[in-house]
Amino acid sequence: MNADILKERQNATFDVEKLTNILDGGPELTKRRREIESMVLNDPDFMEEDPNFLSRSERYDQAVRKSAQMILKLREYGIADPEEIYCYKSMACGPRPEPVGLHFAMFLPTLYNQCEPEQSRKWLPLAESLRVVGTYAQTEIGHGTHLRGLETTATYDPATQEFVLNSPTVSSIKWWPGGLGKTSNHAIVLAQLYTQGNCHGLHAFIVPIRDMNTHVPLPGIVVGDIGPKFGFDEIDNGYLKMENVRIPRENMLMKYAKVEPDGTYKKPPSAKLTYGTMVFIRSMIVGESARALSKASTIAIRYSAVRHQSEIRPGEPEPQILDFQTQQYKLFPLLATAYAFIFVGQYMKDTYSRISGDINQGDFSELPELHALSAGLKAFTTWTANAAIEVCRMSCGGHGYSRSSGLPDLYVNFTPTCTYEGENTVMMLQTARYLVKSYQQAKAGQQLSGIVSYLNETDHRRVQPQPVSARPTVVDINDLASLVEIYKLRAAILVGMAAKSIQQELQHRKNQADAWNNSAIDLVKASDAHCHYVVVKLFTDKLGEIGDTAVHSVVSSLALLYALHGITVNSGDFLQAGLLSVPQVLQISVRIKELLSQLRPNAVALVDSFDIHNKKLNSVLGRYDGNVYENMFEWARRSPLNATEVSQIQCLVLRSKC
């Protein structure tokens, strides 16, 4: 082991294993996770070529082969719990997505949720055995987030009792679904349903796209890969153009809405029923943000402990990068953010499972709040983690650009979370809609419950932007409860300001839609402040659950750093609202520097606590043993460009032309 990183570990003030257990949700879960991880580790079938050295087609092939292996193994070991499947998969695939990912994440769940019994009997055995490999085809080349804008049509023909599917325009070609290009033989296609001359909006249809024996595209189907992307090399995101493709009436998913044999349309009983999967996926993405940021900060902090560069004191040897204040200031707030997001992810998972229990019993009352929260937090955490991964990468100097660092792959495979499952700005505006509605309800005298209950407190609603208020004197910048309070007030004020902007616009134009659009900047800001408050609050709440004193102490420092750093970045808001005074903002800057020094000796131990195995981290810079340079040299020598000492092109071009 590298001497520097060893020393770092010896200097830690807390027991890493105890913190790992907290992050896993208990020592039993840590143990089980490691058991599952070791199944992959010790399995020769998961030995693979470094994808960095392969062409995209080779990467796709390797990934398909691995997915097939994985499915067999999961069955063999009887791993069926979704958490455990996730754990197995993320060890086997590392940071890379897998071509049959959507089969499991969208195709099967949609069948589970939207088949009527007859359909379940037909399709589930086929899909579960992977005779049918499916994907979920919603977005079109010209249409994304806005479902009503989709153009694909499914027109019912009562004569043959079939639906006829068409892509009537170029802009209606289905575009982006993962696994659509080459891998899938079926797709759930979202299309505008026409029957008896009327359009009934978007519905889901099972469309066979390739022959189940020959895998050749079926008549009327034009299907293929949409070409290389920023990352996701393993995935055949695809296009699908349909020309009079006929499917039997029974291929419409009919648990809720129905089309009778004669073409009569029956509406679904509730619009909320299709809502759940989306909320689930967005909640899970919060956890993805935490995991991605944990990996990035593990790599950046370990390498910063190993890397010596430049000088602090003239004449002395190059110090560890981690001793530079600027490096600490880049990385420690992100480390704190990773912890914050892990705890928020745990909260979202728990909340989802609690509320989905309610939903199964017909109680939808908490769904709107969860919907709003998952939308905003999905955007808040993915945007933050996205930018943070790049900060981590660039904090590694030149080597952060090498694929051997793992950071480029981590970034390109994470960044799509900002766009898929709901574009982030749209997500923020959805949350804002809920906040403004709640604000107006509170103003109208309704008593709000849940996470927006702070909009009730009438005194907060009266807080107005002001240079200096009486409040600041009571804020203790070292007290998290006090900081949670001012984050809450900031959110309340910004929600109020957004609502006021809409009001003012309405007075000028009397058009709700334009008033909303002309207040959109304020609305996004309000959502962001709301999410920030929620994260600070949940992080603070979590501290109450940590018993071990040493662990509590270091995690408290992280929470304080997270809260104070967020204030300095948004100090304008806090000053504007009179929530903090100028001297307090200056004190906070000083306090942040103290916290950086305080966290410095525990930085490596804090990333060790994430307990991310080398194979999963997939980074020469982030290796647990810190032996970076010799391994980077080894890796480089395997570059395909080094296969020949002298390449043809060198001889042909350089020598003959010059």
Out of 38, 168, 476, 653, point to the residue binding its own copies (CB under 8 A): 653
CB of 247 within 8 A of CB of 239?
Answer: no
Which candidate in 162, 421, 485, 505 is catalytic? Answer: 421
State the nearest-atom distance from the C-beta of 383 to its own copies, in Å.
9
Q: Residues 201-240: x/- map of binding to its own copies (CB under 8 A)?
A: ---------x--xxxxx------xxxxxxxxx---x--x-
List binders of its own copies among 38-67 (CB under 8 A). 52-53, 55-57, 60-61, 64-65
> How far, in Å, CA of 269 to CA of 247, rounded?
25
Select from 108-116, 403-411, 557-565, 603-611 the region that touches its own copies (CB under 8 A).
403-411
* Residue 421 annotated among the catalytic residues of the structure: yes
* Cα(145)–Cα(136) distance, integer angstroms: 14
429 scored as a contact of its own copies (CB under 8 A): yes
Q: 266 or 593: whose CB is closer to its own copies?
A: 593
Chain mean position to CA 230:
16
Q: Which is nearer to its own copies, 182 or 530 (CB)?
A: 182
**Pattern 467-496, binding to its own copies, x per CB under 8 A?**
xx----------------------------
Give every CB contact of residue 480 below 8 A, 6+ residues apart in sequence: 536, 540, 543, 556, 559, 560, 563
In what helix (H) or strand (E) does residue 487 lie, and over which residues does it extend? Answer: helix 480-509
Regarding 415 and contact with its own copies (CB under 8 A), the answer is yes
Written as six digits, the tokens of 433 are: 């809609």
Give the shortest CB-552-to-its own copies separation in angstroms. 27
Long-range contacts of 44-48 (CB under 8 A, 24+ apart): 45/69, 45/73, 46/92
The radius of gyration of the chain's CA atoms, rounded to the nearest angstrom, is 27
We find the least distance from the C-beta atom of residue 409 to its own copies, in angstroms, to be 9
Candidate ranges 3-11, 19-27, 391-399, 554-562; the one touching its own copies (CB under 8 A): 391-399
Residues between 246 and 305 that touch its own copies (CB under 8 A) = none
User: Binding its own copies by CB under 8 A: which of 509, 517, 614, 625?
Assistant: 517
Q: How many residues bind its own copies (CB under 8 A)?
A: 146
Looking up tokens 């919907």 gives 371
368: which residues sit within 8 A by CB, 6+ positions away? 434
Which parts of 143-162 interact with its own copies (CB under 8 A)? 143-146, 148-149
- Which member of 77, 86, 112, 401 binds its own copies (CB under 8 A)? 401
Residues 557-586 binding its own copies (CB under 8 A) are 568, 570-576, 581-582, 585-586
Q: Pick one of 38, 270, 353, 466: the residue that binds its own copies (CB under 8 A).
A: 466
Quick one: 581 or 609, whose CB is closer to its own copies? 581
Cα–Cα distances (Å) from 436 to 151, 376, 484, 489, 534, in that order, read 32, 14, 21, 15, 17
Least distance to its own copies, CB of residue 240, Å:
12
Footprint of its own copies on 622-651 (CB under 8 A): 629-630, 632-633, 635-642, 645-651
Nearest partner of 46 among 90, 93, 85, 78, judged by Cα: 93
Q: Which is nearer to its own copies, 449 or 639 (CB)?
A: 639
According to DSSP, the β-strands at 153-157 and 258-259 are unpaired
Give strand pairing partners of 265.
259
Q: Which two tokens stand for residue 66?
A: 């691995």
Question: In angstroms, rounded to a whole number, what is the distance separating the alpha carbons of residues 574 and 444?
Answer: 27
434-449 core/surface letters (b: 16 or more CB in 10 A; e: else): bbbebbeebeeeeebe
Residues in the chain: 658
> Considering beta carbons, is residue 264 or 650 the nearer one to its own copies?
650
Sole binder of its own copies in the list 593, 614, 615, 625 (CB under 8 A): 593
Give me the least distance between CB of 244 and its own copies, in Å please. Answer: 19
Separation between Cα atoms, residue 634 and residue 631, nearest integer Å:
5
Choose which of 160, 387, 449, 615 interacts with its own copies (CB under 8 A). 387
Annotated binding site for FAD: 139, 178
- Report which of 121, 126, 114, 118 is spatially closest to residue 190, judged by C-alpha positions: 114
| C-alpha 59 chain-centroid distance | 23
**x/- map, 522-541, its own copies, by CB under 8 A:** x-x-----------------
Cβ closest to its own copies, residue 62 vs residue 113? 62
Member of 261, 360, 473, 657 binding its own copies (CB under 8 A)? 657
Residue 161, token pair as written in the block: 């009792």
Closest contact distance (angstroms) between CB of 224 and its own copies is 4
Closest by alpha carbon to 85, among 96, 99, 73? 73
Among the listed ranges 268-276, 362-370, 455-463, 464-472, the one in contact with its own copies (CB under 8 A) is: 464-472
Residue 70 DSSP SS3: helix
Nearer to its own copies, 354 or 638 (CB): 638
Question: Which residues within the stretch 493-512 sit at the binding site for its own copies (CB under 8 A)?
Answer: 511
DSSP 146: -
Shortest spacing between CB 285 and its own copies, in angstroms = 15
Interacting span for its own copies (CB under 8 A) from 87-95, 131-139, 355-363, 606-614: 131-139
CA distance 188 to 217: 16
Residue among 524, 525, 502, 500 at smallest CA distance from 515: 502
Strand order in the sheet with 221-225: 174-175, 238-242, 221-225
Q: List binding-site positions.
A: 139, 178
Q: Which residues pair with 136 in a beta bridge?
A: 188
Tokens describing residue 115:
């088949």
Closest to its own copies by CB, 196 vs 652, is 652
Token output for 203 = 């519905």
**Residue 38 vs 145, nearer CB to its own copies:** 145
| Using rule CB under 8 A, residue 587 touches its own copies | no
Q: How far is the CB of 546 from its own copies (least distance, A)?
A: 29
Active site residues: 421
